[in-house]
Structure 1
Amino acid sequence: MNATTRRIVIGTAAVSMAVSLAACGKAGDDDKAGSGGDGKSIGLLLPENKTTRYETFDRPIIEAKVRQLCGDCKVRYNNAAQDSETQKKQFDALVTQGVKVIILDTVDYKAAKSWVQQAAKKGVKVVAYDRLAEGPISAYVSYDNEKIGQLQGEALVKALGAKAKESNVVMINGSPTDPNAPFFKKGAHTVLDAQVKKVVYEQDIPDWSPDEANKKMGAAIDSLGKDGFQGVYSANDSMAGGIITALNKQGIKVPVGGQDSELAGLQRVLRGDQAFSIYKQIKPEAETTAEIAVKLLKGEKIDQLTPTKVDSLSGEFKGIPAKLYDAQVVTKENVAGTIIADKVYKAEEICTPEFKAACEAAGIK
């Protein structure tokens, strides 16, 4: 989730090292993390754990990179479990403890505005990670999210094939509190509105909830009938799982797309239950963020790491230094050449007995 395709391998050794280090920054483990006021602590606040990527990749990679760049730096970590008020308390606690740089992947980008403003007054620099919070952000690292939506739309059109122009599509979008969700939606609409017959049902899903996506898909089937749509856009893989369960219950087989290349999503892609996912190389995003945070902590310039400027979604905060990575579509034809080749998952992790035949058919051994 490449104009210039980046083959930045998530090496097995690097990930295993990162995972082993992850234990050093458990949520709420502040006493072991050392004093926040010593100028050597970086806060890391991630939004939720329903999506497997955050605990499996983002957190351990960021923690490992910080320690590689700054041997005596400490990472003070917390996960908000999709609760904005919890994240506010975690953020405020870091500021109170004297942490001067906070990596923030926000639950609710609008709610974060006042926190970031108050922190800035105290000299705290906030690096927006993956999602752009409102406020005077010091740097932002993510993906070209509108382009990701376009990739999703194009992949769904391709999956619909020759009948795309006569096809009706259901859209199940991401959380309204996630600033990336409108960009995914906008990008997808630019493609689908021009290349399919009609988007006949559309819903935003709070908290990216697979259960809620399942319910909304059920409601769409009740409203449209089993033959009332020919494809489903899902903003991510977790929700695609809920959507496909609802479709299977009614005996409906149509293309469904996703995003994030989660393990379960990849398995569905290989088996043919899900048409595609989007592969966002997390390692470069996470490592760049860690590098920016360390430089800010040391008072060094970050210009070379942030070649782009972006404005906040509201337009109130302009010219935020940013680095935006590209992404790519993953289908059963290229799982081996992307996910396996980049060592995101090992073949044996994907190819459990239930998916062994699907893996062999895709050339994964």
Structure 2
Amino acid sequence: MFKSTAHALRFVSVAVCAAAALTATPTAEAKGLKIGFSQVTLQSPFYVQLKEGAQAAAKANGDELIFLDANGDVNKQNNDIQDLLTRKVNVLIVNPVNPDAVAPSLDAASRAHVPVITVDRAAHGSVAAYIGRDNVKMGELSGKALVAALKKKGVTSGKIVEIQGDAGGTVMQDRRKGFHNAFNGTGFKVVEGPYSEYIRANAVTAMQDLLQANADLKAVVAHNDDMALGAMQVLQEANRKDVLVAGIDGLSEALNAIESGNQYVATALNDPRYLGDITIQTAEQVAAGKKVPSFVDAGTEVVTKDNVRQIKHDGLFGEYRPKVY
């Protein structure tokens, strides 16, 4: 479901010195690769689409993609990575459950001369490249658009409830930082809600409790659109259409809500299929022994009522596909 360039580079500071070892046995054409992909979870539409984007790109290049779902379990992810290394993959893609806990497995891949690419979330350990988006920027863009919408209504202070992603995750930390950057000095107070794992059903439960405890709230932000939509459902059921909502990821359902109503006011694009595509392209570049940036930024853009009709969103997510390679 998750980073400023500086932040990302800090996580992959070992990448430059490790790159030569990681690509010690390049494939000349980088065709017909065996690529391992350890995914954090499939309990989110974002991660399902990320998987599908990677699968489509791998198929188009004649690669074999071996996909394993950690289901949010650190131990399972480490076991999955060992399994992929045993299967002699040419390149390993990891979307880490936890950036620290996965480091020993990434180092094991380095010792086996298997280059590692992380996607969506940065990680510690031996990494050739990290593919993601600037999650601090996404939080700032969505948060600033929310503040502008509140001020347009004449609301200049009050509580903004924040529904958070996963405890300890780098995406959560960066999106929280971005939102807080947007709200600092504005007169609004952030009420940090529970970690809801980017899952709508969890956000529904969280919002029910948060609404009872903060009946005077002015707005809700969530670390992804799925949770934000869950929060909006609770607000509408409680006849609180006065409370504005903003999220991140560019889920088409959120874009439709922005276009058709006045409660959901902003999101930031995070096209997961394109992220999967770029990840496979990067894997092929690395396998061919080519230099790639330590941080590959897939880009983002804020969406509000002003520009929502310009964004193609007939799939699960709004499309945002700037040229990377």
Relative to the length of structure 2, the TM-score reads 0.80
1:235-314 aligned at under 5 Å gives the runs 235-253=223-241, 254-272=243-261, 273-298=263-288, 300-303=289-292, 306=293
Structure 1 segments (4+ residues) deviating >4 Å: 343-347
Rounded Cα–Cα distance in structure 1 between residues aligned with 2:316 and 2:45: 13
The yes-or-no answer on 1:231 pairing with 2:219 is: yes
Which letter does structure 2 place at the counterpart of 1:261? G
Residue 239 of structure 1: CA displacement?
0.6
Q: Equivalent of 1:66, from 50, 58, 75?
A: 58
**Equivalent residues of 1:110, 1:177 under 8 A apart:** no
Please, which runs of 5 or more residues in structure 2 have no aligned partner? 3-31, 319-325
For 2:183, give the aligned amino acid.
Answer: L
Q: Is the 8 A contact 1:279 1:330 kept in 2?
A: yes
Is the CA contact 1:146–1:186 (under 8 Å) kept in the aligned structure 2? yes
> Do the aligned partners of residues 216 and 282 (structure 1) sit closer, same or farther apart at CA in structure 2, a change above 3 Å counting?
closer
Verify: 1:169 aligned to 2:131, yes or no. no
Structural mapping, 1:196-215, within 5 Å: 196-199=187-190, 201-215=191-205
Q: 1:184 aligns with which of 175, 181, 204?
A: 175
- CA–CA distance in 2 between the matches of 1:74 and 1:277? 34
Q: Are residues 164 and 125 of structure 1, via their aligned partners in 2, closer, same or farther at CA, if it must alter by over 3 Å?
A: farther
- How far apart are 1:50 and its partner, in Å? 2.7
User: How far 1:211 moved relative to its partner?
Assistant: 2.5
> Any idea what SS the aligned residue of 2:35 has?
strand
State whether structure 2 residue 285 is matched by structure 1 residue 329: no
Give the aligned residue type for 2:250.
S
Equivalent pairs counted in the alignment come to 285
Say if 1:276 and 1:330, in contact at 8 Å, map to a contact too. Answer: yes
**How much has 1:168 moved relative to structure 2?**
2.1
| Alpha-carbon contact 1:175-1:204 (below 8 Å) kept | no
Residue 184 of structure 2 aligns to a residue whose secondary structure is helix
Render the CA deviation track for 1:64-84: whole Å, top value 9, x for unaligned: 323434x3x311112223333
Structure with bigger helix share is: 1
Give the Å deviation of 1:212: 2.5
Letter in 2 for 1:61: G
Give the % identical residues.
Answer: 25
Q: Which residue of 1 aligns with 2:39?
A: 46
Residue 333 of structure 1, CA deviation:
3.9
- Residue 344 of structure 1 and its aligned partner are, at CA, apart by 4.6
Aligned-residue RMSD, C-alpha:
2.4
State the match for 1:359 in structure 2: none
Measure, in 1, the Cα distance between the counterparts of 2:56 and 2:237. 43
Deviation at 1:119, TM superposition (A): 1.8
